[in-house]
Amino acid sequence: MTLRSRLLLAALVVTITVVAALAYVSARQGSVLIGQLDSQLLVVSDNISRGVERIAGEFPANPQPRPDAPLVTGELYVAFVGDGATEPQVLARPVSEPDLVPDVSDADLEQAAETSQPFSADALDSDTRARVVVTDVGPGHLVFAISTRAADEAQNQMLITAGIALGVVLAALAAALWSVDRLGIRPIESVTKAAEDVAAGRSDHRVEHPSVATEAGRLGLAFNAMLDSRQATEARQRRFVADASHELRTPLTTLRGYAALHASGQLSATETDDAMARIHSESKRMEALVDDLLTLASLDEDRPLEYSTINLSQLLGDLASDASAIQPERPIDVSDVDEGVNIAGDRHQLTQALTTIINNALLHTPPTARIMLACGQDETGVRIRISDEGPGIEPEHLDHLFERFYRADTGRERFAGGSGLGLAIAQGIVAAHHGQIDAVSTVGDGTTITISLPLDQ
């Protein structure tokens, strides 16, 4: 059953409940009003019957109405019907309806006199009804009646009020259903259709004009954002595969070329040794590239880190010594390092990230350019800064510095640098430690890369 069907069923149940409640209230009011009339009739009939029992003899031959009788009110019809009489002798008439005469047959008189209980009867020459009580007084019967017009009018007013209330309830219910359908069900149907279209291969489908004022609207916006993120991820994956293929194509072509030359016997002994050296060099390059790809895949899968306590001041000192061993003439400054700065992290991965950044500085700056290593701690966390006095990075390249396979040399010459994965790996490692890495550079004034790490991982 669809959501719209459930809402319609709920609306039907609410409507039936309201109608049943109003019908019950109306019937209950009518019963109460009739009960009040019956109580009035019974009290008057009982009092008059008791008075008649105390009177000796019989009724006069022609009894007349007595307006001053204390037990006869101005709203009652009282008549005496003698045994064998064809017409009742009216003793009192109601002021509001002087023509009220209940249509009661002789059989009804006898039966009503035996039970002494009120019953309903139509009025002669009138469109109203009356409640009637009959008592036996020996020579005949006393008939007491009271019009139900007031009670009927009150019940009619109740029915009109109930009808108006029912109309208001139905209108409010219809407005609520329309609002829920427009603001809730239709956007959900739009999201469902968009999901079906995306599943069918139309990844460009989006939910049209979702409103953020409703949960369904926010669902539509979240769905659109999810699709945008998915498309961006797929684009990055396609670019990643294309870049990886591009990086692997060159060493594979080299290996295949030298293998073909060796197989054809076109290489001399000296050329064969050179070819083997080139093959070894290209295979190591491929091995390094594959290792980088595996590292990135591991970071993407959020594999758990091997945490230990790391003394950053000691780690930076070791990295500075390693860099000096690579380029002894390079000035490396590690003076701005706070002693005793410890964090919890994966030593191997953090060492890899910092080494990558330092090696980039060694590779892309002149040998005389100074490299400065610094770290400090405050209440928010730890800051590691690696700065150089090199030529700096162009602004158009700075925003893409940590993208995978991104290199400033668009031609991707092998001897101009690595594969473009080093800084992407460094960023992934820092992100795995819940930190942040940023780069600031000015052309001619060098580059500063700052790593911010929280104290508690």
pLDDT tens by residue, 210-225:
566 777 777 778 888 8
**pLDDT tens across 104-141, in order?**
887 778 788 778 788 888 888 777 888 888 888 777 78
- Is 371 part of a structural domain of the chain? yes
> In whole angstroms, how far apart are CA 401 and each of 9, 92, 362, 397?
59, 110, 16, 6
C-alpha angle 223-226-230 in degrees, rounded to nearest 5: 140
Q: Is pLDDT above 80 for 322?
A: yes
C-alpha angle 97-99-104 in degrees, rounded to nearest 5: 110
Residue 413's pLDDT band (cuts 50, 70, 90): very low
Q: Is pLDDT above 50 for 168?
A: yes
Any idea of the CA torsion for 58, 62, 64, 69, to the nearest 10 degrees?
0
- Is 198 part of a structural domain of the chain? no
**Residue 214 exposure: Cα atoms within 13 Å on the Cβ side:** 16
Tokens 């259709």 correspond to 193
Q: Higher pLDDT residue, 168 or 182?
A: 168
**Residue 429 exposure: Cα atoms within 13 Å on the Cβ side:** 24
Number of structural domains found in the chain: 3
The reported pLDDT for the residue numbered 408 is 63
The CATH number assigned to the domain holding 19 equals 3.30.450
The answer on 408 and 385 residing in a single domain is: yes
The answer on 96 and 138 residing in a single domain is: yes
**433: nearest Cα among 326, 291, 302:** 302
Tokens encoding 116? 């002494």
Pairing of strands 446-453, 382-388: antiparallel
Tokens 């003899």 correspond to 57
The answer on 423 and 343 residing in a single domain is: yes
| Average pLDDT value for residue range 165-176 | 89
Tokens encoding 13? 């149940």
How far is it, in rounded angstroms, from Cα 34 to Cα 113? 20
pTM over 0.95: no
**Between the ranges 66-70, 251-255, 373-377, where is the mean pLDDT highest?**
373-377
Q: Which domain holds residue 347?
A: 304-453
Q: Are 309 and 347 in contact (CB under 8 A)?
A: no
- Is 184 part of a structural domain of the chain? no
Q: Is pLDDT above 60 for 2?
A: yes
- Is 328 part of a structural domain of the chain? yes
The reported pLDDT for the residue numbered 456 is 66
The answer on 134 and 38 residing in a single domain is: yes
The CATH number assigned to the domain holding 266 equals 1.10.287.130
Burial 334-368 (b: 16+ CB within 10 A, else e): beebeeebebebbeebbbbbbebbbbbbbebbeee
The answer on 290 and 311 residing in a single domain is: no
**119: nearest Cα among 110, 128, 130, 127:** 130
- Is 347 part of a structural domain of the chain? yes
Q: Are 354 and 315 in contact (CB under 8 A)?
A: yes
Q: State which of 112, 136, 153 marks the end of a domain.
A: 153
Which residues are registered as beta bridge partners of 308? 345
Tokens 């500085």 correspond to 361
Phi-psi region of 381 (alpha: psi -120 to 50; beta: other; left: phi over 0): left
- Is 192 part of a structural domain of the chain? no
Tokens encoding 89? 């002798």
The CATH number assigned to the domain holding 375 equals 3.30.565.10
**244: nearest Cα among 294, 198, 306, 170:** 294
Range name among 50-59, 116-125, 184-193 with the lowest pLDDT average? 50-59
**Hey, what amino acid is at 255?**
L
The answer on 312 and 289 residing in a single domain is: no
Task: Give the phi and the psi of residue 157 in degrees, each rounded to 5.
Answer: -60, -35
Residue 67's pLDDT band (cuts 50, 70, 90): very low
The answer on 308 and 247 residing in a single domain is: no
The reported pLDDT for the residue numbered 438 is 92
- Is 285 part of a structural domain of the chain? yes
The answer on 369 and 326 residing in a single domain is: yes
Q: Is pLDDT above 90 for 386?
A: yes
Q: State which of 299, 331, 357 marks the end of a domain.
A: 299
The answer on 261 and 332 residing in a single domain is: no
The answer on 105 and 15 residing in a single domain is: yes
Q: Is pLDDT above 70 for 65?
A: no
Sequence-ordered list of residues with C-beta below 8 angstroms from that of 286, at least 6 positions apart, any chain: 248, 251, 252
The reported pLDDT for the residue numbered 376 is 87
The answer on 119 and 33 residing in a single domain is: yes
Q: State which of 280, 299, 318 marks the end of a domain.
A: 299
Tokens encoding 58? 């019989």
Q: Are 22 and 162 in contact (CB under 8 A)?
A: yes
Range name among 28-32, 250-254, 379-383 with the lowest pLDDT average? 250-254
Which residues are registered as beta bridge partners of 372? 333, 387
Tokens 């290199």 correspond to 407
Average pLDDT taken over every residue of the chain: 80
Tokens encoding 256? 């295949």
**pLDDT tens across 68-108, in order?**
443 445 788 888 887 766 677 777 888 777 778 888 887 77
Q: Is 321 helix (H, G, I), strand (E, B) or coil?
A: helix
- Is 204 part of a structural domain of the chain? no
Q: Are 370 and 447 in contact (CB under 8 A)?
A: no
- Sheet containing strand 89-92, edge to edge, reads 89-92, 76-82, 140-147, 129-136, 119-122
The answer on 316 and 266 residing in a single domain is: no
Which residues are registered as beta bridge partners of 346? 307
